[in-house]
Amino acid sequence: MRKSGQEINICYIKKENTKSQFHYGMKKEIEKLIKKALGKDFNIEVGIPAHANFGHYSTNIAMRLAAEEGKPPLLVAKDLAEKINFEAPKGMFSKIEAAPPGFVNFWLSGEFLQKELKNIYKNKKSYGEGRLGRGKKVIVEYSQPNIAKRMHVGHFRTTIIGDALANIFEELGYKVIRWNYLGDWGTQFGKLISAYKWWGDREAVKKDPINTLQALYVRFHDEMKTRPELENEGREEFRKLEGGDPENRKLWEWFRKESLKEFEKIYKLLGVKFDIYIGESFFEKYMGPLIAELEEKGLAKKSEGGKIIPLEKFNLPPALIEKSDGASLYLTRDIANLRYRLKKYRPVEILYVVGNEQALHFEQLFAAAELLGLTSAKLTHVKYGLVLGEEGKKLATREGRTVFLEDVLGKATELAQKIVEKKNSDLSEKKKKEIARVVGLGALKYNDLKEHRHTDIVFDWEKMLSLSGQSGPYLQYTYARLSSILRKSGRIGSFDLKHLSSESEITIQKKLLDFPEEIEKSAEQFTTNNLALYLYELANAVNRFYELTPILKDEDKSRRNARLVLIDSARNVLKKGLGLLGVEAPEEI
RNA sequence: GCCCUCGUAGCUUAAUGGAUAAAGCAGGACUCUUCUAAGGUCUUGAUGGGGGUUCGAUUCCCUCCGGGGGCACCA
């Protein structure tokens, strides 16, 4: 994989640009309303307060206006609240009030919430979809496994974060290109070829390709400790490979083919798909011309036997693009890759979902892109924290200190299987097995996606396999229970949503209304934790609701059906939201 | 040494510069004759230290302390 900084945009702005670019949903509506009431353009921000007694929505604009106009904030807020009340569509709010020190708080009316719920219910398939990405392409690069190495827990993060972000952008109407940039080129393959020539066994590789190859690689590094000359040998083999040596080429192709087969198996287990598998080797043919061009334009120069792009003006160390032996480097291939993508696909944005440890590489890449005028897309390094070993240190393949993805998946499924046996032993074996798979995988994915991607994760079996509390299975459980109620209810007949006036019912209605904005936020910030938390809060509100409110037994059919509409809508949002996170929602659990 | 990143409850984490810092786990007390107890209810408990900007700072700036990662012939 790309071994593994703050997102870096192409203009070399160091800070993440997280200003709103999509905007759809209630906040946007209220912002428009305030603008109208204000009668002037002002940077208006509407938020959702932390406490229910401060309203459904809130704005601090009065305090900023007060500072500008030199008036008491609360007075400005009161004045503004009055104006908005006048401008607001009839029946939209039940209350708009000014609160000290100068907030304006908004409460949606029951009537309005009911109207919105009806919309959500009627458009259940499309609810959450945005249009802002229409006609635009985004390339999301993620997973990036290395040929001849087993995928480990580190790959899990890039793969599921990338997959979720791709889903989220798609939901907003973008055409998303899911790109698996394979680590299939570089000195490591010289080392591997060298190792194979020393100790390789054709039959053993055939039988168990990746494990055998990986063992060879680890042995090579071990032996290098006592035989340092091996290092040069590895480099030489890579140089030969890059020069077109038939024997090395053939070995490389073989290793690559076998590796891809095994990767496919894992992706199938993970439920992840890619549109394009183009790895580093694809760009080999562009290396010579690219380096020549960089030199011609005066961007690159010789240094210490190799060739570098000086990047002082970006306050960065020089970027090495050609080694003294003439071999190309990771960065060189990435520059070629970027140019290729921009030309062929014309994306508006490219996301590189790669660990924090590669921050410098991407700073250098983006700086080089600017020098070359490759500025037609916004480039973002979507960084994530490392998966550290239990002792809090980096897991390294070279030393053989890793936890493999397959083992994690297996263990999660096994644990889920035990729990299904205990909780739902009367289900068929086939169903139990399927539930164990979905729940085990859901637990792993949710556990990761619920944390901010910048956070380092210390590998911990127990936490990874958590099946209760804020977890994937909790959401799946809620979904399955709602499904069960709706199965038993039969067709929902006529209903009157006016019945949905209890506190818990209003909480759910309001929560459903926030869904589109949560998706938008995820896309703006390239995060999944907000969406994961949102779904948990929705599920929690729903669990509290049906815990105390029997739905099917209700004699009042109109009220019964209204409640069914409510939980059916919640069920659909849960399903769609989980789907965006790449988590399946089972009908039974 | 330079750069990136993180520091919030016993543990793992949330919080566009806002109002009473939010959860989960673990601990304690309840809760299944009632649509799945993988649930629900109650409860203990926190912003590393020091400055600054601001009406308001977990958030921005400076500094110190601490963890993790990176710094031209690996990817």
Q: Which residue has the higher pLDDT, A289 or A393?
A: A289
Which protein residue's Cα is closest to nucleotide B70 at C1'? Answer: A357
Q: Which residue has the higher pLDDT, A152 or A376?
A: A376
Which protein residue's Cα is closest to nucleotide B5 at C1'? Answer: A5
CA of A126 to C1' of B17 (A): 35
Given a cut of 70, whether residue A15 has pLDDT beyond it is no
Q: What sign does the CA torsion over A368, A374, A376, A377 have? A: negative
CA of A57 to C1' of B29 (A): 36
Select from A587, A589, A584, A586 the least CA-distant residue to A160: A584
pLDDT at A563: 97
pLDDT at A465: 80
Listed in sequence order, the DSSP H helices in A44-152 are: 61-69, 73-87, 110-122
How far apart, in whole angstroms, are the C-alpha atoms of residue A308 and residue A86?
A: 65
pLDDT at A9: 34
Select from A231, A228, A147, A151 the least CA-distant residue to A191: A231
- How high is the ipTM of this complex? 0.95
| Number of neighbouring beta carbons within 10 Å of residue A429 | 7
Which protein residue's Cα is closest to nucleotide B23 at C1'? Answer: A470
Q: Which nucleotide shows the minimum CA-to-C1' distance to residue A6?
A: B4
Which protein residue's Cα is closest to nucleotide B22 at C1'? Answer: A50
Amino acid at A375: T
Q: What sign does the CA torsion over A468, A471, A472, A474 have? A: positive
Secondary structure of residue A279 in the 3-state scheme: coil
pLDDT at A277: 96
What are the structure tokens assigned to A11, written together?
A: 């203009």
Q: What share of chain A is helix, strand, coil (3-state, %, to 5)?
A: 55, 10, 30
pTM over 0.80? The answer is yes
Q: What digits encode the pLDDT tens for the residues A185-195?
A: 988 899 999 99
Q: What digits encode the pLDDT tens for the residues A468-520?
A: 899 999 999 999 999 999 999 989 989 999 999 999 999 999 999 999 999 99
Confidence band of A7 (pLDDT split at 50, 70, 90): very low
Q: Which nucleotide shows the minimum CA-to-C1' distance to residue A467?
A: B38
Q: What digits encode the pLDDT tens for the residues A530-558?
A: 999 999 999 999 999 999 999 999 989 99
Q: Which of A8-22, A224-238, A343-357, A400-414 has the lowest mean pLDDT?
A: A8-22
Would you call the peptide bond into A246 cis, given omega within 30 degrees of 0 as the criterion?
no
Q: HEC string of A320-364?
A: EEECCCCCECHHHHHHHHHHHHHHHHCCCEEEEEEEHHHHHHHHH
CA of A570 to C1' of B4 (A): 41
How far apart, in whole angstroms, are the C-alpha atoms of residue A206 and residue A217?
A: 16
- Mean per-residue pLDDT, A230-256: 93
- Mean per-residue pLDDT, A282-305: 95
Which protein residue's Cα is closest to nucleotide B7 at C1'? Answer: A455
CA of A313 to C1' of B3 (A): 15
Confidence band of A153 (pLDDT split at 50, 70, 90): confident
Q: Which nucleotide shows the minimum CA-to-C1' distance to residue A435?
A: B38
Q: What digits encode the pLDDT tens for the residues A206-237?
A: 999 999 999 999 899 889 889 989 999 999 99
Q: Which nucleotide shows the minimum CA-to-C1' distance to residue A20?
A: B16
The arrangement of strands across the sheet holding A306-309 comes to A301-303, A306-309, A319-322
Amino acid at A93: F
Identify any residues that bridge with A355 across adjacent strands, giving them in sequence order.
A384
Catalytic residues of A: 149, 152, 155
pLDDT at A396: 60
Write down how long chain A is: 589
H/E stretch holding A191: helix A187-199
CA of A391 to C1' of B52 (A): 38
What are the structure tokens assigned to A360, written together?
A: 């410098």
Given a cut of 80, whether residue A259 has pLDDT beyond it is yes
pLDDT at A16: 33
Q: What digits encode the pLDDT tens for the residues A435-475?
A: 999 999 999 999 999 999 998 888 888 788 888 899 999 99
CA of A176 to C1' of B71 (A): 34
**Using an 8 Å Cβ cutoff, are A6 and A16 in contact?**
yes
**β-pairing, A57-59 with A103-108?**
antiparallel
Given a cut of 70, whether residue A128 has pLDDT beyond it is yes
Q: Which nucleotide shows the minimum CA-to-C1' distance to residue A529?
A: B14
> Which bases of chain B are under 7 A from a protein CB atom?
3-6, 12-26, 34-41, 55-56, 67-75
Identify any residues that bridge with A215 across adjacent strands, giving them in sequence order.
none
Given a cut of 60, whether residue A399 has pLDDT beyond it is no
